[in-house]
Amino acid sequence: MTFPEEKSTVPTVEMRDIVLRFPGVLANDHVNFTLYPGEIHALLGENGAGKSTLMNALMGLYRPESGEIRIHGERVSFNSPKDAIAAGIGMVHQHFMLVENQTVTENILIGLDTPHFALDLKKFDHEISDLAEQFGIHIDPTAKIWQLSVGEQQRVEILKILYRGADILIMDEPTAVLAPQEADELIATLKGMAAQGKSIAFISHKLNEVKQVADKLTVLRRGRVTAERVELHDFTRESLASLMVGREVIFNLHKCEQTPGPEVLRLENVSALNNKNLPALRNVNLSLHEGEILGIAGVAGNGQSELVEVITGLRPCSGQIWLGGKDIANKPPAFSIQQGLAHIPEDRIGVGTAPNLSITSNIIMKRYDQEPVSQKWQLDYVAADDVASGLKTEYDIQAPNVHTQARKLSGGNLQKLILARELSSLPHLIVAMQPTRGLDVGAIEGVQQLLLNQRSQGCAILLVSEDLDELLSLSDRIAVMYEGEVAGVICSEDFDITQIGLMMTGTTSQDLQTQKEKPSASNFDKVLKNLHQAEEPAQAGTTATPELPFESKTQADELPQEGLTSPHDDSYQHLTEKERVLRKVLGDKYKQGDTE
């Protein structure tokens, strides 16, 4: 498809009929991709659809089997990234390509030809500050990479490209690792760069984000283009999703009505410290019943991960945790597993699996001591493979065979592997932390459906998520956590996204009841105004933000720090910080409400 207004300009990048094959996989099957100056072009697709592969081919990391690449109209053939860099292409990889113990400047200078030998780092520090300023990026060029936040590291990646004078930027899922406010800053930076004439290819599998940032869109599915250079406003979220996944995606899963059964889990006065030995949980009381999903909402870092860890036996705590009539607090995880606990951890690679072991080994990790896998003192690997193949088929884990290493699986398949192991143990209680984060729409639907199936089979589920939509659609009750305490528990019939949002930022449910006028989600300003007024009398540094924005760091250093609270006395800071949290909480809903 070509557009009349584009015929006049030469595309910066033109990829035609690209074919790329990996052993056993056709990663790109005659893919076309065109990029014009000054545009942000989104490349949308599921994990493993071939987006990154295509862009790596453009970067000269992979060589296409056939097809042609033209840069500014001229045909090129890259042998290494060096050629691509020389042609003005730069890529920010999903996993940052930075040397941790080198400075920002050193990282930017890697791979250049001049100066040939001696490096006068001070001179380059200045050059890089100037360049950063030109694009409105704040960074200290003498800082070591490990001292920087993820968002700052990403800026280093962008600077690396800009310093090489690139006019084509490839961003590989850049927001996957960022906090919402950092993502906003990034999108603003990218738009600014596009306005200065740079061409940006933006890889993503997040539909909302693509709608927010991109001018044009190309969709890939299983290595093939399903929509090429289309305008974004022609599409709804649903139609984009079906282009990506190749079938209808159900965004609102059907949840059957059922009455919860007897109590499965009860937490009594549970308190715990975090890794820095500061209080992370304070007198948490919760109860969870058979056939019930209890959602845990909260801004990241308000005690959710510690809550999951104390229940799963990974963190010491005070108080009692009753599971099926036994106190599992401070007991080894094996004991809780015997009581019917299943854990779907947040960190799939570090905690959820042993990445270098096979699918089989990962599957039998919880049942190695049970028949048929366990034969007295040895393991029956034939039986183990049988179990694993059975579950591989049942849970549709896509891998060549059960001997494939876990780390070679895509994010969605890795999560399916964990779910297969955990759910096949027929648990009474599932503790799931961020079970759908980083997955694409198709995989999210699958995971959520599995959880709902468990619910209808009478399993109790504790679901921790930062995705409020997910919590609202799956949970029977939602407990909101704020600074290690349960700020309130809301039943599904009373779900109100604004109320949950306010509780996440530190307004207790009692405070909300005394408030006569209930703020509505569609009136954002009003919410903020109310929030600000409600907070004013309480005041004095009880802000909800566990992380500081970078700009306020210097300012924050001058203020005294007390316990868990972040020092933001300035009322403007206060408001924007609230705003950011609320935007994170309500953002999608708010904008969606606008467009529909």
Partner 1 sequence: MNWIEILRSGISTGTVLLIAAIGEILTERSGIQNLGVEGMMLVGAMAGFRVAFTTGNVWMGLLAAVAAGGLLSLAHAVVTIHFQADQTVSGLSLTFLGTGLALVLGEGFTGHTAPVIPRASIPLLSQIPYLGQILFTDHNLLVYFGYILVPLVAYYINKTRPGLHLRAVGENPAAADTLGVNIYRTRYIYTFIGGCFAGLAGAAISVAIAPGWYSNLTVSGQGWIAVALVIFAHWNPWRAALGGYLFGILRRFTLDLQGPRVLFGLANPFFFNTNLVFFLQMTPYVLTIIALIWGSSAARKKRIGAPAALGTPYQRGERGL
Annotate each residue in 410-449 with x if it binds partner 1 (CB under 8 A) or - if it does not, as one string.
Answer: x---------------------------------------
Interacting span for partner 1 (CB under 8 A) from 6-14, 54-62, 338-346, 575-583: 54-62
We find the least distance from the C-beta atom of residue 239 to partner 1, in angstroms, to be 26
> Counting contacts by CB under 8 A, is residue 483 touching partner 1?
no
Annotate each residue in 143-162 with x if it binds partner 1 (CB under 8 A) or - if it does not, as one string.
Answer: -x-x-------------x--
> Counting contacts by CB under 8 A, is residue 116 touching partner 1?
yes
**E strand or H helix at 186:** helix 180-195
We find the least distance from the C-beta atom of residue 83 to partner 1, in angstroms, to be 8
Buried b (16+ CB within 10 A) or exposed e, 374-411: beeeeebeeebbebbbebbeebebebeebebbbeebbb
Q: Are strands 293-297 and 89-92 parallel, antiparallel or unpaired?
A: unpaired
Instruction: Please state, as a whole number, how many other Cβ atoms lie within 10 Å of the Cβ of residue 454.
Output: 22
Tell me the Cα Rg of the chain: 26
We find the least distance from the C-beta atom of residue 84 to partner 1, in angstroms, to be 9
Contact criterion met (CB below 8 Å) for 422 and 365: no
We find the least distance from the C-beta atom of residue 59 to partner 1, in angstroms, to be 7
We find the least distance from the C-beta atom of residue 56 to partner 1, in angstroms, to be 7
> Counting contacts by CB under 8 A, is residue 326 touching partner 1?
no
Of 100 and 347, CB closest to partner 1: 100
Q: Site for partner 1 (CB under 8 A): which residue of 61, 349, 357, 548? A: 61
Beta bridge partners of 400: none
Integer Cα distance of 58 and 81 in angstroms:
9
> Counting contacts by CB under 8 A, is residue 112 touching partner 1?
yes
How many binding residues for partner 1 (CB under 8 A)? 43
Cβ partners under 8 Å of residue 359, min gap 6: 388, 392, 397, 399, 401, 402, 403, 404, 406, 409, 417
Angle at 395 (CA atoms; ends 392, 400), nearest 5 degrees:
35
Integer Cα distance of 588 and 521 in angstroms:
11
Contact criterion met (CB below 8 Å) for 441 and 241: yes
Instruction: Please state, as a whole number, how many other Cβ atoms lie within 10 Å of the Cβ of residue 273.
Output: 16
> Counting contacts by CB under 8 A, is residue 81 touching partner 1?
yes
Annotate each residue in 338-377 with x if it binds partner 1 (CB under 8 A) or - if it does not, as one string.
Answer: ----------------------------------------
Which residue type does 368 have?
Y
We find the least distance from the C-beta atom of residue 501 to partner 1, in angstroms, to be 37
Q: Site for partner 1 (CB under 8 A): which residue of 18, 44, 46, 50? A: 50
We find the least distance from the C-beta atom of residue 103 to partner 1, in angstroms, to be 10
* Structure token pair of residue 77: 């053939």
Integer Cα distance of 185 and 190 in angstroms:
9
- Backbone φ/ψ region at 86: left (φ over 0), alpha (ψ -120 to 50), beta: alpha
Residues in the chain: 596
Which residue type does 461 have?
I
Annotate each residue in 386-415 with x if it binds partner 1 (CB under 8 A) or - if it does not, as one string.
Answer: ---------------------xx-x-----
- For residue 499, give the nearest of 302, 304, 511 by alpha carbon: 511
We find the least distance from the C-beta atom of residue 219 to partner 1, in angstroms, to be 17
> Counting contacts by CB under 8 A, is residue 121 touching partner 1?
yes
Instruction: Please state, as a whole number, how many other Cβ atoms lie within 10 Å of the Cβ of residue 175.
Output: 20
Backbone φ, ψ for residue 74 (5° rounding): -100, 135
- For residue 310, give the nearest of 280, 347, 348 by alpha carbon: 280
Q: 3-state SS of 355-402?
A: CCCEHHHHHHHHCCCCCCCEECCEECHHHHHHHHHHHHHHCCCCCCCC
> Counting contacts by CB under 8 A, is residue 110 touching partner 1?
yes
Q: Site for partner 1 (CB under 8 A): which residue of 21, 38, 102, 548? A: 102
> Counting contacts by CB under 8 A, is residue 170 touching partner 1?
no
Of 26 and 564, CB closest to partner 1: 26
- Residue matched to tokens 């996989």: 25
Q: Give, as one character, the DSSP assignment of residue 406.
A: G
We find the least distance from the C-beta atom of residue 26 to partner 1, in angstroms, to be 11
We find the least distance from the C-beta atom of residue 125 to partner 1, in angstroms, to be 14
Of 53 and 543, CB closest to partner 1: 53
Q: Site for partner 1 (CB under 8 A): which residue of 12, 34, 56, 473? A: 56
Q: Site for partner 1 (CB under 8 A): which residue of 5, 7, 8, 101? A: 101
Of 87 and 344, CB closest to partner 1: 87
Range 569-573, long-range pairs (CB < 8 A, 24+ positions):
569/540, 569/541, 571/532
We find the least distance from the C-beta atom of residue 117 to partner 1, in angstroms, to be 5
Q: Which of residues 541-580 bind partner 1 (CB under 8 A)?
A: none
Integer Cα distance of 428 and 460 in angstroms:
6
Q: Which of residues 3-32 bind partner 1 (CB under 8 A)?
A: 22, 25, 27
The contact set with partner 1 (CB under 8 A) reads 22, 25, 27, 48, 50, 52-53, 56, 59, 61-62, 80-82, 85, 91, 93, 95-102, 106-107, 109-112, 115-119, 121, 144, 146, 160, 407-408, 410
